[in-house]
Each structure stands twice: as structure tokens, then as C-alpha cells.
Amino acid sequence: MSNKHFDVAIAGEINLDLVLYGLPEVMPCERELLADNFAMTLGSSSAILAHNLSTLGTSVTMATLVGPDPLGEIALQRLREARVDLGGVRHTDACSTGVTLMLPHGKERHTLTYPGTMAKMSLADLNLDYLSNARHFHLSSLYLQTALRPDVPELFRRMKSAGLTVSLDTNDDPDDRWEGLLDTVLPLVDIFMPNEDEASRMTRTTSAEAAIEVLGNIVPLVAVKCGSRGALICSAGVVQEIAPVPVTPLDTVGAGDSFNTGFLFGYLRGMSPAAAARCGNICGALSTQRSGGTEAFRDKALLDSFLAANGGLTQA
């Protein structure tokens, strides 16, 4: 692997998150409802992961499809500022870049997404030779990438044949059907990182503990994100609980993607699964200290002080 140019290659969606705070959970029509705060941050699971991994010093290239609009350019500029390689980015005039409107209500939130280009990127838009010049390949938001999804097994096989390990975070399936996942996609994955709700729904079980038993029989390494309860990991058939990093969250948007950041950071440095999950919990907790999934990583003073206070990622 010493001749690989990048640590991680990511193919996925990109958009901005527009976050309005303080709105009621039940919103009547034909009324002007006032938020008490607003943030515009880099969104999408794939772009958040690319940004945060690169901020931690991991070399990352990202392939994505962007429309002819200012929101897409703002999102790309955030990745450039984090030193993410954008050699795999393609542009289209067919539709605009997607956007997500988030309305947090304490621990829960409304999430409203216009998919835009995230639903249009296909295997034909990806330079597989360029992406294979990495040690590891990651895919997020499987069920939002509707044009790419039928070819994901072929994409994973191509990456693995080039010597890359493969990780996946499906995120939610809006149709709650999870088609083709357990029998077609997951057998090609080395690391799977769902949250506990997704894990339970895709396996038709009622708990993270039951779900990880099913998933651990398919994927060599599974990390189930359990929010304030930390994480569960299953490696070589052994399930472990990884304690959370206690924080008072300001915003949980992007915390799961930030867990993925820490987990892959540790995994790529040869840490044990438990140590990698500890890195994931640290990064997930850090993310909750600012709006959105990347703002805490953009705040270098916060990043440095938070990692130091929690023993640093190299000691996780």
C-alpha cells in the first residue's frame, strides 16, 4: 500500500445544510414562524467525512457531482479549505446541487432534503483508476444516491480488486425497505458503520445489540453508533461496548459522520477496533459542540483543546 497517493477515497453526495433553530415541532401552515438562530454549514455525510478526515491530517480525495449554482461552489470551497483533493469532482447543468434544511428540536430534528445532483451521479461519473489510488474507499448515503446504487456492488468489487479496503455508512433509507443490502452489498464491505436505529430497521430487530449480532455475521468489522450511549463494535464475532465521551451537546447534526471520521482515522493507523471506536466517540462528541457536522473541526482552538482534554486521538 506504500505506493498509494491517498489514504481515503470517497465517492458521494455534497450539499449545504441550512439549520434553523428554535422552531416548534408542529408547524402550522400559512403562518410565519420565526427561528431564533441560523447556521449554514457543509452538509452531506460524504462531504462531512471528507472535510473532517482531511482536517485531522488524513489525505482524502472526493468524487462528487455538482450543479451550476452558488451553493455547490460554497460547499466545494469548504472542502478546498480543508485540503481535500477534488480531482474527481464532475459538474453538470442537468440540475442544481442538493440542499438540506434541518430543524433541530432537542435530541430530534426534522430533515428536509432536495437531492439534486446526489441522485444523479452514476458509475460513469467516477474515474475508478483515480479513486483506486488510495488505501481505503468509503461510501455514504447509499439510498440517496439512486443513480449509483445499482452499481455499488460493482464499484466495491473494483475497489477491492485494486487492493483497497471498503467501508459503508448507508444512512437512512427513506423508503425503509433496505433492498439488496444484507445479501448483495454488505458481503463486499470490510467496515460497516450504521447508527442504532438504522441497524435495527435494516435487520428487523428491536435493539442495537440484536442488530449487531446479525450484521457481525456478514461484515468483518461493525461499529453501531448509539449516540449518548457510545458505540457497539463487533470484530471477529466479539461484541464490545465503547463508552461515550460525556458532553453537553449544542447540536447533534453530523455527529454520526464525525464518529466515522474518528473511527477511520484510528483504523487507518492500525489501531484496534476498540481504540478506533474510542477515536470515533471523541470526534462525534467534538462535533456536537458547534453547529453542523464540520464547524467544530474548522475551529482549530476548539479542536486542539477538545482532543487534548480527551487524551488525543493517538492515545485513544
pLDDT tens across 169-200, in order? 999 999 999 999 999 999 999 999 999 999 99
Over pLDDT 90: what percentage of the chain?
A: 94
Mind listing the pLDDT tens digit for each residue in 69-90?
Answer: 999 999 999 999 999 999 999 9
Over pLDDT 70: what percentage of the chain?
A: 99
How high is the pLDDT of residue 1?
45
Residue 48 has pLDDT above 80, yes or no: yes
How high is the pLDDT of residue 316?
55
pLDDT grade, residue 314 (50/70/90)? confident
Q: What is the pairing mode between strands 134-140 and 6-11?
A: parallel
The Cα–Cα gap between 55 and 33 comes to: 36
Residue with cell string 456478514: 218
Mean of all residue pLDDT scores within the chain: 95
Mind listing the pLDDT tens digit for each residue in 49-76?
Answer: 999 999 999 999 999 999 999 999 999 9
Residue with cell string 448509539: 226
Its sign, for the CA torsion 224, 230, 236, 239, is negative
Q: What is the pTM assigned to this prediction?
A: 0.95
Backbone Cα Rg of the chain: 18
